[in-house]
Structure 1
Amino acid sequence: MNKIIFHIDVNNAFLSWSAVYRLKQGEKIDIRTIPSAIGGDEASRRGVILAKSNPAKKFGVVTGESIFSAKKKCPNLKLYPSEFNVYRYYSGEVIKIFKEYTDFIEKYSIDESFLDVTAIAGKNPYELAYEIKERIKKELGFTVNVGISTNKLLAKMASEFEKPDKIHTLYPEEIKKKLWPLPVEELFMVGKKAKSRLNDMYIFTIGDLAGYDVSLLKQKFKSYGEMIWKYANGIGSDDVIYTEEEAKLISSELTLPSDVQSRDEAHKILLEISKKICRRLRDMKRYSSTISVHIKTSDFINYSHQRKLKAATNSTKIVYDIACQLFDNKWQYEPVRLLGISLSGLCEEIIEQTSLFDDIKDNNLKNQKIDSVMDKLQDKYGEDIINRFNSLNK
């Protein structure tokens, strides 16, 4: 018996969640209806775009570009600070609704989840998807897309079809009709660089890729070639990975709309990721003893570098400083398409290896106090009320 898997993705999550929250606080304008974006500092035009409204998208504003660039495209763009406490809250509220239907939930990211609904979907999974989608819209005030299939890959591809507020199926028997005619760059894990190389091989559609000689793809792209060939043929896992155990690792990453080719730009991205992931760690009341930086190049080559700490930390400054060092040590000056940070070795208190590192512990505690004050101020007045990293904004 085939499984029934849902992939549920919040439409334009950060901006939608900020919009809903602000409307509940009495704001008159729904920021989803005007040219608006989340992220950065409007006064200095520093930072990057984390999310943008559909009206802003029409001006060419894209996620990951600089505030300066976005403002040149759309001078009337309204900028709003990121509010990760709000995002965490609404992400949790979505999961609460999911748990009323199934325990088989894999949280793929803060705004995406896979659900194994095989046991409850009945003969018409579409009806169940519609019920969940409408409940989220009615009870929480924002929309989602739902993709339905027999494995996670096809469910995710289905959810990427027409947006927003839609339900799509992509069963194995529908691949030829729905998936294969699409441009090859719309396949999961195929970016601009890979698209160009595939087009040079006269592979223009996902169907072209699916029918190509996999051995030739492996010669050209190595393991990546076999992977995308499998994806083009709808081959993927149907295992929804769920656990009730406490998290042993947390991570955050950002896929960039255009290649990052300078150290300064990469450091700016790492700062945004560090702020996000360390705040999440502090909310969990946990510390990390190992920091890893993940890099994906424009050629889809992945590599990472990690460091074991002398004393566990949840300090944004310490994580950011080490992440930059790890990046600088590993980066080979290739164009970068994705950057990520993961924190592992999670524990409930700062544990130093020996008394020789009292200075490390003292520095940790000092940064912890600063972070605590900043968290409280940002929760009350917004993310941009205080910024300890002004020295970076030269």
Structure 2
Amino acid sequence: MEEKRNTIFHIDVNSAFLSWSVVYRMSQGEDMDLRNIPSVIGGDEQSRRGVVLAKSNLAKQYGIVTGESLYSAKRKCPNLVIVAPDFNSYRFYSKELINMLKNYSPCVEQYSIDECFLDMGVLDKKDAYEEAYAIKERIKKELGFTVNIGISDKKVLAKMASEFNKPDKINTLYSEEIKEKLWPLPVGELFMVGRKAKEKLNKLYIFTIEDLAKHDVTFLKQKFKSYGGLIWEYANGIDSSKVQCQSEEAKIISNSITLPVDVVNKYKAHDILVQISEQISVRLRKENKFCSGIAVNIKNKDFISYSHQKKLANPTNSTKHIGKIAQELFDEVWKKEPIRLLGIALYNLSEEFTHQVSIFDETEVYSLEKNQSLDKALDLIKEKFGDKSIKRFNNNI
């Protein structure tokens, strides 16, 4: 009987600094997409000091590499567009990515500003690929940039898989695939093998990852100390490390949508809040929990955030109730300015449901039971036919 194993995703933003600069600049009304011209992120455009932090594919065709001086890059490509980095917006988009991914797994480990691991639990290969595709496309649609996703049963292999083909690709590298997909690669492409290590390994006639995997590990440890044993293990797909969950149990459930176009209409914002409340309440019910606090988060076109929250008299997991309160909170706090992001957060979570109503208020009891039945029916339909199989309209909230 085959042992059940968790599926791990490694998500890597393609040319993160360049992509995030593009998304921000276009959100401010700029038409030029830096990804479609020879361009780099790094230093100061006027003085041309500093080094290349990120480059477009067209810049790469001129031989420009990450880490070289801007002066050298400009000599290779005189019409190169140089854009200074904007780390505030990079941190913003990194956080937006992590928040979105938390909707797919309770166990997300941020590895760097543009990389993270997800423990997706036990999935067969077909379901894992379909889930990765859904994540990749949602990031592209809602956040405006592309990612690569590596899929494996080991963290190091998932990371290696995300490097195979770029950009905007999904690749697998399960333990049983390393001989076919990993071993033929040059040893310098193995995770943790840099330029200097590659040169030393080549002098030992170790040119491919297979050469390293089949080499005498005792000799490697004598030559490179613990590092030799580490890269030998990685070459053989040996990695027992786990995805480090930020918390064992969610104290808050949240979801947000970054809008492709700034929203200035109240009713359009209400429609988006319906969509978010639908997604977030399904997750709440899946965890058999109720919330007694709801908050609405708004981010304007200048990335200034503000929120409004309310404590409930009775816990709820009703989509209709959550959506209605979210709309009321929005109306109370919105400053009538263009909206870049809308979000809903549910807090004060519990597994107990208590509802205090008057013994004479039969209408309220009936409405409560009706909403619970509707939510249950819609959840079953979505579970069987997919999230897009049925949609709740604003006038049904």
Bin of the TM-score, shorter chain as denominator length: 0.5 to 0.7
Unmatched segments (≥5 aa) in structure 1: 246-394
SS in 2 for 1:117: strand
SS in 1 for 2:6: coil
**Structure 1 position 60, deviation (Å):** 1.3
**Structure 1 position 101, deviation (Å):** 1.1
Q: Which residue of 1 aligns with 2:142?
A: 139
Answer yes or no: is the 8 Å Cα contact 1:104–1:116 preserved in 2: yes
> Is the aligned partner of 1:97 residue 2:134?
no
Structure 2 residue identity aligned to 1:44:
S
Q: Which residue of 2 aligns with 1:242?
A: 245
**Structure 1 position 72, deviation (Å):** 1.5
> Is the aligned partner of 1:152 residue 2:155?
yes
Structure 1 residue identity aligned to 2:82:
L
- Tell me how far apart the structure 2 counterparts of residues 115 and 79 of structure 1 sit (CA, whole Å): 34
Q: From 164, 169, 184, give the equivalent of 2:167.
A: 164
Answer yes or no: is the 8 Å Cα contact 1:121–1:128 preserved in 2: no
- Tell me how far apart the structure 2 counterparts of residues 82 and 176 of structure 1 sit (CA, whole Å): 40
Q: Which residue of 1 aligns with 2:29?
A: 26
Answer yes or no: is the 8 Å Cα contact 1:19–1:31 preserved in 2: yes
Deviations 1:5-43 (A, max 9, x none): 000000000000111111121112100011111111122
**Structure 1 position 242, deviation (Å):** 2.2
**Structure 1 position 191, deviation (Å):** 1.4
Q: Which residue of 1 aligns with 2:316?
A: none
SS in 1 for 2:121: coil
State the identity as a percent: 67
- Tell me how far apart the structure 1 counterparts of residues 239 and 20 of structure 2 sit (CA, whole Å): 31
Answer yes or no: is the 8 Å Cα contact 2:154–2:175 preserved in 1: no
- Tell me how far apart the structure 2 counterparts of residues 118 and 17 of structure 1 sit (CA, whole Å): 30
Q: Which residue of 2 aligns with 1:48?
A: 51
Answer yes or no: is the 8 Å Cα contact 2:162–2:171 preserved in 1: yes
Answer yes or no: is the 8 Å Cα contact 1:5–1:238 preserved in 2: no
User: CA 1:21/1:159 → structure 2, altered by over 3 Å: closer, same or farther?
Assistant: same
Q: From 178, 194, 210, give the equivalent of 1:191.
A: 194
Deviations 1:167-204 (A, max 9, x none): 01100110000000000000001111111111111111
Equivalent residue runs for 1:287-302 within 5 Å:
none
Structure 1 residue identity aligned to 2:245:
Y
> Is the aligned partner of 1:223 residue 2:223?
no
> Is the aligned partner of 1:60 residue 2:63?
yes
Deviations 1:113-143 (A, max 9, x none): 0000015678620010000000001111111
Aligned length: 246
SS in 2 for 1:106: strand
- Tell me how far apart the structure 1 counterparts of residues 117 and 138 of structure 2 sit (CA, whole Å): 17
Structure 2 residue identity aligned to 1:74:
C
Structure 2 residue identity aligned to 1:173:
E
Answer yes or no: is the 8 Å Cα contact 1:152–1:238 preserved in 2: yes
Superposition TM-score, scaled by structure 1 size: 0.60
Of the structure 1 ranges 70-79 and 152-161, higher mean CA displacement relative to structure 2 is found in: 70-79
Superposition TM-score, scaled by structure 2 size: 0.60
Q: From 2, 9, 12, give the equivalent of 1:9.
A: 12
Answer yes or no: is the 8 Å Cα contact 2:6–2:123 preserved in 1: no
Equivalent residue runs for 1:197-212 within 5 Å:
197-212=200-215
- Tell me how far apart the structure 1 counterparts of residues 122 and 141 of structure 2 sit (CA, whole Å): 25
- Tell me how far apart the structure 2 counterparts of residues 224 and 122 of structure 1 sit (CA, whole Å): 32
SS in 1 for 2:149: strand
- Tell me how far apart the structure 1 counterparts of residues 126 and 64 of structure 2 sit (CA, whole Å): 42
- Tell me how far apart the structure 2 counterparts of residues 100 and 120 of structure 1 sit (CA, whole Å): 17
Deviations 1:293-344 (A, max 9, x none): xxxxxxxxxxxxxxxxxxxxxxxxxxxxxxxxxxxxxxxxxxxxxxxxxxxx
User: CA 1:194/1:72 → structure 2, altered by over 3 Å: closer, same or farther?
Assistant: same
Q: Which residue of 1 aligns with 2:177?
A: 174
SS in 1 for 2:151: strand
**Structure 1 position 76, deviation (Å):** 1.2
Q: Which residue of 1 aligns with 2:327?
A: none
Unmatched segments (≥5 aa) in structure 2: 249-397
Answer yes or no: is the 8 Å Cα contact 1:40–1:67 preserved in 2: yes
Answer yes or no: is the 8 Å Cα contact 2:7–2:123 preserved in 1: no
Structure 2 residue identity aligned to 1:47:
G
Q: Which residue of 1 aligns with 2:41?
A: 38
Deviations 1:50-73 (A, max 9, x none): 111111111111112111121121
Structure 2 residue identity aligned to 1:14:
F
- Tell me how far apart the structure 2 counterparts of residues 51 and 191 of structure 1 sit (CA, whole Å): 19
Answer yes or no: is the 8 Å Cα contact 1:155–1:170 preserved in 2: yes
Q: Which residue of 1 aligns with 2:314?
A: none
The structure number with the bigger radius of gyration is: 2
Structure 1 residue identity aligned to 2:200:
R
- Tell me how far apart the structure 2 counterparts of residues 135 and 52 of structure 1 sit (CA, whole Å): 24
Structure 2 residue identity aligned to 1:85:
N
Q: Which residue of 1 aligns with 2:86?
A: 83
Of the structure 1 ranges 129-138 and 64-73, higher mean CA displacement relative to structure 2 is found in: 64-73
Q: Which residue of 2 aligns with 1:116?
A: 119
- Tell me how far apart the structure 1 counterparts of residues 184 and 146 of structure 2 sit (CA, whole Å): 27
- Tell me how far apart the structure 2 counterparts of residues 115 and 170 of structure 1 sit (CA, whole Å): 15
Q: Which residue of 1 aligns with 2:392?
A: none
